[in-house]
Amino acid sequence: MSRTPRKYDEHLDKTPANFVPLTPVQFLERAAHAYPDKIAVIHGQRRYTWRETYARARRLASALTKRGIGKGSTVAVMASNTPELYEAHFGVPMTGAVLNALNVRLSADDIAFILEHGEAEILFTDREFSTTVRKALEKLGTPIPVIDIDDPEAGGVGERLGEMDYESFLAEGDPAFAWTPPADEWDAITLNYTSGTTGNPKGVVYHYRGAYLNALGNVAAWGLNHEIVYLWTLPMFHCNGWCFPWTLAALAGTNVCCRKVSADAIFGAIVDHGVTHFCGAPIVLGFVINASDAERRPFDQTVNVMTAAAPPPAAVLARMAAEGFKVTHAYGLTEVYGPATICAWHSEWDALDMEEQARLKARQGVRYPVQEGMMVAHPETLEPVPWDGETMGEVFYRGNITMRGYLKNPAATEKALAGGWFHTGDLGVMHPDGYIQLKDRSKDIIISGGENISSIEVEGVLYRHPDVVACGVVARPDDTWGETPVAVVELRDGATVTEAELIAFCRENLTHYKCPRDVIFDALPKTSTGKIQKFLLREHVRRLIAAGEA
């Protein structure tokens, strides 16, 4: 027998028949093909089928292309969870351009920074946010075209800033626009700014490959099928809604939009539209738990909720379970496409009492099936910690749902991906069963209402006040928001500034939600070299809170 050692390397090349760059846009094409008349998007009185959603996304792509938008361009969208932002998740990539969904809670300064840094070439903006956006646009060195999203569900608030509205823009486009997959699945598909651990937002660049894979990762990790009816309680601007816009298309499920999350909106959608799944920070669970009897409505289906950012407490889980909600705990960061870790449930745990279930579910869990590696390891040596549930280390990821890097920031990218692993900056332990548990969020991050707040950024503002000598900002637990920032401040001798004055000062210089809710005048724990010891500071604040002194 003649041997041909290179038999598997020869005459078996990639061709257009057997290799297509991965793109989640094709999921929409398939949904429109297989389920053309099924409702894809519900928003107030509006309904769009999959055929219509595909046509609208193609119109959007076509109209953008006519204006010169294409590969290398950034398209910014300032919007709530409305059909327009959903469509942008497909229509923008169809042109080869990059979608930059903006956090609608940011200040005008932040928005201006992001538009400048991301070099947005066009902005779609919902009227509701016109006050912020107008200020941001005034700060731009070069004006950019603006298209208004005029959503009837917004109640007519806000003014129009742009040259035309979104529907008129769509009308310019061809519903049969011939889009193509990216030349390379490594191309950028979206840009998501995170406050990160330093003051200025960093632009996290997602690739098509990761977007496609995490769309399917959600399906496999959460056991989804095409009967899903998904309520948009999680902002689509947040890690592209954890990639769920693409997941819903892959399944040809139904999206239920939501401008404003409330108990009323949640129970209404569950009953009126048969919602089966939603995601969100603990604040979203709070809406369910704290709903009034008037807001609460009975329903039959099990509603699955994926939550991240803080472990759901036992009491919350018990209450949710009793009311027909099944909570799954997940964890991730913008840099890993949203959830990349899930507390994968074991059916035998159902037999445990609720306290024990809550203890198990408080762990963040195991890696997503589409993220190839996760470990808890020494921050510098990358040596994994023992699986003892006690030894702290940093959480690291590697795999295909990890960002390409930070836009125009090679130093930060190199640091974040050093050693072949993404450094989360979050600290945790590895339990003996291989489940991770976060023990401390990254030293600099406070998570309030699901949004990251950089304590360094807040401290930077406080330090600008003439009376502040030293300060440290840490999180305090909050029933509504998860966490809120609290500042510990040392004043110069003889200073008379009050807590209210310092908070007001912050509000003048920061996005509202980033401002400290409490200011404590006290000495800061420091190292011998004068570095503030955040860990001790957090302990100190906790003691003060426990003692009722803060």
Q: Please report how close the Cβ of residue 346 comes to a copy of itself at its closest, in angstroms.
A: 7
DSSP code of 383?
A: P
Measured from the CB atom, the residue of 209 and 259 that comes closer to a copy of itself is 209
What are φ and ψ of residue 199, in 5° steps?
A: -60, -55
Among 102, 137, 407, 489, binds a copy of itself (CB under 8 A): 407
Site for a copy of itself in 242-261 (CB under 8 A): 250-252
Q: Please report how close the Cβ of residue 344 comes to a copy of itself at its closest, in angstroms.
A: 5
Question: With binding defined as CB under 8 A, does residue 6 bind a copy of itself?
Answer: yes
Q: Please report how close the Cβ of residue 300 comes to a copy of itself at its closest, in angstroms.
A: 16
Structure tokens at 357: 């279930």
Q: Please report how close the Cβ of residue 99 comes to a copy of itself at its closest, in angstroms.
A: 12
Site for a copy of itself in 462-501 (CB under 8 A): none
Q: Please count the residues of this chain forming the interface with a copy of itself, following the rule CB under 8 A.
A: 82
DSSP code of 431?
A: -
Measured from the CB atom, the residue of 340 and 532 that comes closer to a copy of itself is 340
In DSSP terms, which residues pair with 384 in a beta bridge? 377
User: Shortest CA distance to 90 belongs to which of 31, 172, 167, 44?
Assistant: 31
Site for a copy of itself in 42-101 (CB under 8 A): 72, 98
Three-class SS state of 294: coil
Site for a copy of itself in 101-140 (CB under 8 A): 116, 119, 140
User: Shortest CA distance to 396 belongs to which of 370, 422, 415?
Assistant: 422
Q: Which stretch binds a copy of itself (CB under 8 A): 260-268, 314-322, 408-416, 470-478?
A: 408-416
DSSP code of 384?
A: B
Measured from the CB atom, the residue of 296 and 431 that comes closer to a copy of itself is 431
Question: With binding defined as CB under 8 A, does residue 399 bind a copy of itself?
Answer: yes
Question: With binding defined as CB under 8 A, does residue 372 bind a copy of itself?
Answer: yes
Question: With binding defined as CB under 8 A, does residue 397 bind a copy of itself?
Answer: yes
Q: Which stretch binds a copy of itself (CB under 8 A): 15-23, 155-163, 481-489, 542-550?
A: 15-23
Give the amino acid at 377: A
Length of the chain: 550
User: Shortest CA distance to 280 belongs to which of 482, 125, 85?
Assistant: 482
Measured from the CB atom, the residue of 220 and 352 that comes closer to a copy of itself is 220
User: Shortest CA distance to 390 belongs to which of 443, 436, 442, 343?
Assistant: 436
Question: With binding defined as CB under 8 A, does residue 426 bind a copy of itself?
Answer: no
Q: Please report how close the Cβ of residue 272 comes to a copy of itself at its closest, in angstroms.
A: 18
Site for a copy of itself in 160-179 (CB under 8 A): none
Site for a copy of itself in 301-360 (CB under 8 A): 344, 346-347
Packing angle between helix 50-66 and helix 83-94, nearest 10 degrees? 60
Question: With binding defined as CB under 8 A, does residue 421 bind a copy of itself?
Answer: yes
Q: Could you tell me where the DSSP H helices lie in 95-191?
A: 108-118, 130-139, 166-171
Q: Please report how close the Cβ of residue 311 comes to a copy of itself at its closest, in angstroms.
A: 18
DSSP symbols for 42-104:
EETTEEEEHHHHHHHHHHHHHHHHHTT--TT-EEEEE--BSHHHHHHHHHHHHTT-EEEEE-T
Measured from the CB atom, the residue of 418 and 469 that comes closer to a copy of itself is 418
Q: Please report how close the Cβ of residue 496 comes to a copy of itself at its closest, in angstroms.
A: 42
Could you give the CA distance from residue 304 to residue 401 in angstroms, rounded to a whole number? 23
Question: With binding defined as CB under 8 A, does residue 142 bind a copy of itself?
Answer: yes
Judge contact between 197 and 454, C-beta under 8 A. Answer: yes
CA 199 centroid distance within chain:
18
Site string for a copy of itself, 33-52 (x = CB under 8 A): xxxx-x--------------
Q: Which stretch binds a copy of itself (CB under 8 A): 85-93, 398-406, 489-497, 507-515?
A: 398-406
* Residue found by looking up tokens 């669970």 in the block: 285
Among 402, 424, 437, 448, binds a copy of itself (CB under 8 A): 402
Measured from the CB atom, the residue of 227 and 383 that comes closer to a copy of itself is 227
Judge contact between 406 and 204, C-beta under 8 A. Answer: yes
Judge contact between 437 and 429, C-beta under 8 A. Answer: yes
Give the amino acid at 173: G
Question: With binding defined as CB under 8 A, does residue 17 bind a copy of itself?
Answer: yes
Question: With binding defined as CB under 8 A, does residue 30 bind a copy of itself?
Answer: yes
Q: Which stretch binds a copy of itself (CB under 8 A): 317-325, 399-407, 441-449, 468-476?
A: 399-407
In DSSP terms, which residues pair with 487 in a beta bridge? 473, 519
User: Shortest CA distance to 118 belongs to which of 220, 57, 50, 194?
Assistant: 194
Question: With binding defined as CB under 8 A, does residue 264 bind a copy of itself?
Answer: no
Structure tokens at 299: 């329903």
Q: Which stretch binds a copy of itself (CB under 8 A): 87-95, 148-156, 182-190, 539-547?
A: 182-190
In DSSP terms, which residues pair with 438 in a beta bridge? 428
Site for a copy of itself in 207-226 (CB under 8 A): 207, 210, 216, 219-220, 223-226
Judge contact between 108 and 135, C-beta under 8 A. Answer: yes
